[in-house]
Structure 1
Amino acid sequence: MPEVEQDLSIGQVAERTGLSVHTLRFYEREGILANPVSRGPGGRRFYSESDVEWLRLCVILRASGMPLPAIRQYTDLVRQGSGTEEERLALLRRHQEHVIAQIDKLTQCLDLIAFKVRVYEDHLEHGPVEHMCGVSSLPDLAKRD
């Protein structure tokens, strides 16, 4: 027997996605939702499981640094349906490259922090080191760019 889609309140969706009620309303106004939000008596919003899954995708895209206009563009392409796959792929590839660059930069930062942690651990274990805070003692992270 196929599962019937349950109508979820805005509060339930907020709880399940980690988004605030305010953000859900904002996303609706901004055209971020793939499907129109259903309204019940009195204008109350009701969401489906597919809306929750779409919002979870949007949360991941935002957390990875994708700007709202790009998410809106992706949403528009999805709404248009078949025939927009190449554009969707191009958009996601551009974002993928951006995320890879972010990861590389964060890795460089982590390397520097790990280096400084080792310097201070050595200092605490073996006593003061002369150039502990000097720039000359930093690893050359710029070579990775």
Structure 2
Amino acid sequence: MLYTAGEAAKILGIPASTLRYYDKEGLLPELERSSGGMRMFRDSDFASLRLIQCLKKAGLPLKEIRDFIRLPNDGQKTIDTRLKILSHQKKLLRKKMEELEDMMGMVEYKIWYYETAKRAGTTKVPAGMDETELPVYLRDAYVHLHAVPGKERKDL
């Protein structure tokens, strides 16, 4: 089945202008055109489009995505290169996930802090607690938030 840019964009949940931009940037080298020059997408194009979306969301610049997409044209000798690109991106994503988990922990701690303050009618109650009085799942965030640079910390 063939889809217009608008139809394909609707299926993917993105603007049609994004698909036109991908094409303009050389990310869709095998894209079919109608006799009138309209971009036409096949069912088989959706895997490539989803890969482009994934790599873009994973932080790969469009130029690198374009290079990655073209690698299969050079045959099996590029498998190691493709693997290195994806492995490197995986490491970057893992680091970003750890950073997001740290941020989530701090946000959860502050939510707990203000919920506790709201119940007590004052921020003095949670502010007066030390980490041993906190729920266990919040202690790492508390320690990280209150860490003093240059000072070694002893375990509890």
* Partner residue in 2 for 1:19: 14
1:105 offset after TM fit, Å? 0.4
Q: Which runs of 5+ in 1 are unaligned?
A: 1-5
Aligned length: 135
* Partner residue in 1 for 2:25: 30
Q: Which amino acid aligns with 1:44?
A: M
2:82 aligned with 1:92: no
* Partner residue in 1 for 2:77: 83
Alignment of 1:47-62 (within 5 A): 47-62=41-56
Does the Cα contact within 8 Å between 2:33 and 2:40 map onto a contact in 1? yes
1:74 offset after TM fit, Å? 1.0
More contact order relative to length (CA 8 Å, sep ≥ 6) = 1
Q: Which amino acid aligns with 1:127?
A: G
1:66-96 alpha-carbon deviations (Å, 9 max, x no partner): 2212211211213333221100000000100
> Structure 2 residue aligned with 1:68, among 62, 65, 71?
62
Structure 2 CA distance for aligned equivalents of residues 123 and 131 of structure 1: 6
Provide TM-score, normalisation by structure 2: 0.77
Which of structure 1's runs of 4+ aligned residues deviate more than 4 A? none
Provide TM-score, normalisation by structure 1: 0.82
